[in-house]
Structure 1
Amino acid sequence: MTATIHKIGGNRAPSLEPMFKLVAPGMNKVNAVILDRMQSEIPLIPELAGHLIAGGGKRMRPMLTLACAQLLDYPGDRHHKLAAAVEFIHTATLLHDDVVDGSDMRRGKTAANLIFGNPAAVLVGDFLFSRSFELMVEDGSLKVLKILSNASAVIAEGEVNQLTAQRQISTTEEKYLEIIGSKTAALFAAACRIAAVVAESGDAQEMSLDAYGRNLGIAFQLVDDAIDYVSDGATMGKDSGDDFRDGKVTLPVILAHIRGNADEQKFWRDAMLGNRISDADLKHARTLLQAHNAIDDTLDRARHYGQRAIDAIAHFPNGEAKSALTEAVEFAIARAY
């Protein structure tokens, strides 16, 4: 995989374009469901939800549901509503996260909570969670309901786990991986797995797609946490350095702290406690991360999990869907380059 991170097919950077093309007809149906179900007689609800839902974003999670269904040659249409449910869960968590984090930007726009207020953002997030569960119930599968409801609970647990680890420089790599496995990877895994349930493909296929999504989700978050220190707000769609200023102890910080001398470790302790958060401090943090290869090693781990994702679908027949799913992994990692 390492050899294909920068170029695929010899001269092309990895892209989500193959997946966009693969799932375009299905995503039109998913988007129609999303537009319909975000409506309410209370005008503020569609206005606030639309600010985020219509405000960009790759819709990667629902696209994964559709792509996995195509990988299994599923001929039905149940997955369209379920993919919309997945996107509602994701959007609800974003609304809640921005309130918790005090974020200024989301998807390159002003965060909804800054425009509409924290109470409205939380309540509309609750509304979208409720809509997602309506869609699950309409599907009629208790197994699908169990998978997606469990993922919702695990995501919430992951967010609380992250909150308790915030500003704790003693956070271990194991604890960090546990957090991102819950708050990010759980929904990736569920989005992929439900395709095998509706296609009635059996437990083995379910778990293969679960493993694909889970490992992709971990790789995706590792890259996000790395580029928070090396990218800019326009590229990321949120403020650069947010994690640093919020005292989020992500893997780059964990690695730099462990490898640093006494003075450097004190800097990280002070920074994570919120006492060293100026632009100059952020610049110093980036220097330390570079000196201790913390960003490179975080991306190495992302490549490792990316390879695990690709390996999880190796036994599926070759074709457009498998190729698009493979390139989605490569794209997720190439975002850092």
Structure 2
Amino acid sequence: MGLDQPSAKPHETLAETLASDLTAVNALIRERMASRHAPRIPEVTAHLVEAGGKRLRPMLTLAAAALCGYQGRHHIHLAATVEFIHTATLLHDDVVDESEQRRGRPTANLLWDNQSSVLVGDYLFARSFQLMVETGNLRVLDILANASATIAEGEVLQLSAAQSLATDEDIYLQIIRGKTAALFSAATEVGGVIAGAPEEQVKALFEFGDKLGLAFQIVDDLLDYRGIPGVTGKNIGDDFRERKMTLPVIKAVAMADDEERAFWRRTIELGDQRPGDLDEALAILNRHDALDATREAANSYAAHARRSLQVLAPHPIRDMLEDLTDYVVERVN
């Protein structure tokens, strides 16, 4: 795939292929984020929407619709809907997490305030439902409404589970399904539904989005311990410092002896972190091969995602989605 060549990255190739549709999506986003009465709404929204994100989720909707031969225009509405939902959740997440930076820029809650971030996020959720309704398709409304509920449910679950050693892999998967995979799977599923694709293909698109989303988030969590900061944009150990029970730690805790468990309880549950603790955490993770096991989990979900696409007819976009899946996990292989 020539991953060393920026222009050959799969998400960029997909964006070039879908360029005219993406232009229409961006125009619709700009139109619908406007507000006659509250100019702060487009200010806050533009800060995040125009911050250089890859538009991966709306691209998945456009790609799924194209893959199923859709000829209408409602996929533009659905792609904009997906991006609005994603942006709304980011605004809310940054308030909950007290974040100060996103995509290399100060967060909206830091530049404005928490109230503005929460309320603008609410506005974008409302706009997303208006866009869904305009398609006249109750099934896509059901899919995206359920995804929105799952996202919120996952965030609430994370509040209670993030810093508890009782958090196991099943709970972790439930959290990341809400955090990431629910919107990925909804994005691909609605593309098939709006195209009127056979049920087998719609199910395959859902499976692809779900498993790609899980692999994507697991890789992201693994990069926190194994990534290269200048490449990933993350500092090694941020999740550890924020006391997050991500999959590498969950796997290490499951194999911990009494001394190691006491270490995890002090650093994660009690938040008593001292100089040298990150190095000790990395040593424990490597001792139990937790990082390699996490990488294998991501590879397994990615392989499942690729298999799901085989239900769909051969198509250049199908090849691009397969390449995208490979690219997601090759960041840690």
Settle same-fold status: TM greater than 0.5.
Answer: yes
TM superposition shift of 1:274? 4.5
Would the aligned equivalents of 2:3 and 2:9 in 1 still touch at CA under 8 Å?
A: no
TM superposition shift of 1:255? 0.9
Aligned to 1:158: 154
Aligned to 1:113: 109
Unmatched tracts of structure 2, length 5 or more: none
Could you say if the C-alpha distance between residues 279 and 208 of structure 1 is closer, same or farther in structure 2, counting changes exceeding 3 Å?
farther
Among candidates 26, 33, 41, match of residue 31 of structure 1: 26
TM superposition shift of 1:258? 1.8
Write the distance in 1 (CA, Å) between the matches of 2:109 and 2:291: 31
Would the aligned equivalents of 1:244 and 1:277 in 2 still touch at CA under 8 Å?
A: no
Aligned to 1:66: 62
TM superposition shift of 1:180? 1.2
Aligned residues between the structures? 330
- Where do 1:48-127 residues align within 5 Å? 48-127=44-123
Q: Deviations over 1:125-175 (max 9, x none)?
A: 111111101101111111110110110001101111111102111111111
Among candidates 318, 321, 325, match of residue 325 of structure 1: 321
Would the aligned equivalents of 1:267 and 1:276 in 2 still touch at CA under 8 Å?
A: no
Write the distance in 1 (CA, Å) between the matches of 2:51 and 2:34: 16
Would the aligned equivalents of 1:105 and 1:237 in 2 still touch at CA under 8 Å?
A: no
Aligned to 2:303: 307
Unmatched tracts of structure 1, length 5 or more: 1-7
Q: Is 2:256 the partner of 1:260? A: yes
Q: Is 2:152 the partner of 1:147? A: no
- Where do 1:208-247 residues align within 5 Å? 208-231=204-227, 234-237=230-233, 240-247=236-243
Write the distance in 2 (CA, Å) between the matches of 1:53 and 1:283: 36
Q: Deviations over 1:252-299 (max 9, x none)?
A: 001111223222211111111253435632232222222222121111
Write the distance in 1 (CA, Å) between the matches of 2:235 and 2:106: 10
Aligned identity (percent) is 46
Aligned to 1:40: 35
What amino acid is the match of 2:305? A
Would the aligned equivalents of 1:82 and 1:136 in 2 still touch at CA under 8 Å?
A: yes
Write the distance in 2 (CA, Å) between the matches of 1:54 and 1:164: 33
User: The residue matched to 2:53 in structure 1 has which SS?
Assistant: coil
Aligned to 2:173: 177
Could you say if the C-alpha distance between residues 100 and 113 of structure 1 is closer, same or farther in structure 2, counting changes exceeding 3 Å?
same
Would the aligned equivalents of 2:65 and 2:192 in 1 still touch at CA under 8 Å?
A: yes
User: The residue matched to 1:56 in structure 2 has which SS?
Assistant: coil
TM superposition shift of 1:182? 2.2
Would the aligned equivalents of 2:163 and 2:268 in 1 still touch at CA under 8 Å?
A: yes
Q: Deviations over 1:31-65 (max 9, x none)?
A: 11111111113121111111111112111100000
Among candidates 11, 17, 21, match of residue 16 of structure 1: 11
Q: Deviations over 1:156-214 (max 9, x none)?
A: 01111111102111111111112212221111010000011111112211111000000
Write the distance in 2 (CA, Å) between the matches of 1:93 and 1:122: 9
Q: Deviations over 1:81-111 (max 9, x none)?
A: 1100000001101111111111222112122
Could you say if the C-alpha distance between residues 157 and 141 of structure 1 is closer, same or farther in structure 2, counting changes exceeding 3 Å?
same
TM superposition shift of 1:247? 2.0
User: The residue matched to 1:170 in structure 2 has which SS?
Assistant: coil
Aligned to 1:3: none
Aligned to 2:268: 272
**TM-score, length of structure 1 as denominator length:** 0.92
Q: Deviations over 1:227-265 (max 9, x none)?
A: 122235554445553322222211100111122322221
Write the distance in 2 (CA, Å) between the matches of 1:112 and 1:279: 32
What amino acid is the match of 2:25? V
What amino acid is the match of 1:261? D
Aligned to 2:292: 296
Write the distance in 1 (CA, Å) between the matches of 2:185 and 2:71: 22
What amino acid is the match of 2:87? T
Q: Is 2:176 the partner of 1:195? A: no
